[in-house]
Amino acid sequence: MHEPGYYRKAAPFLDKDMFSPDEDQDFETWNLYHVTTNLSAVRASGRLKSRSELGQNNWGLGKSQYDNPRMVSTTHDMNRARQIYDQMKLVTELARGLVPAHTVWDMATDALYEPWDHSEIRSVLKSYLPRNIYKSMAEGEVEEAEMDKYIKTAEAIYAFMQSLESAVSEIELDSNRDTNDLSVMGFAADFEDMKKIDPNQIAIIQVVARKDAQSEQNPQEREVKFFPQDLRIIRYWQP
């Protein structure tokens, strides 16, 4: 149980009109989740801290028009929280040289029906692959796993992922379909900072928010931000 004066549910902080009608039946059931990369520090302090409190280098996801370094990011979507958790784990493993380029390709472009149909994606591949390899891959003459031979170091693979994510975000934001759900996380931390994250310290935290809390909603990323003093932790877990 959480203390009085807090909302467990996300609904009071969300604009219902920003969601599709088929989500109406679930709207009132959504909770609030945050994904941390330093569980030990959270447990020691008993609270979440904003990026400005931690220092500008302590962030893994991308900035957007909704960015506010003094606030803490949460999501009302458990599936989104799990997606962030899984991708954070993958990227920390990538930074340790354990993830090949073609796995990053699969992850970043998974939501696109035909990645090769998009000029933004082709432009990224052209900048990372020799011309003859790019042409052979585009024509289906070689498997996409061939890219592992040319994008080899962990730092290069991380930069490749960032480039792909930027391209996918651009495609999704410019598409004609109505989307409130970007498929990529938007990892923007420097490679050296990402290397410092221990995958065993990544965890999902469920929080409650003060009833009169100021919040900022980011529908494209299924996100709502709060000032850290307005949040209380009620549980955490590592799937």
Averaged over successive runs of 10 residues, the pLDDT of the chain (239 residues) comes to 82 90 91 95 92 64 62 94 91 93 92 91 96 94 94 96 90 64 73 90 96 91 93 94
pLDDT for res 124: 97
pLDDT for res 61: 52
pLDDT for res 67: 67
pLDDT for res 211: 95
Q: Number of C-alpha atoms within 13 angstroms, CB side, residue 1?
A: 3
* Euclidean distance between CA atoms 133 and 197, whole angstroms: 34
pLDDT for res 181: 61
pLDDT for res 56: 52
What's the distance, CA 173 to chain centroid? Answer: 16
pLDDT for res 148: 97
**Residues with Cβ within 8 Å of residue 93, at least 6 apart in sequence:** 99, 199
38's tokens? 């330093």
pLDDT for res 234: 95
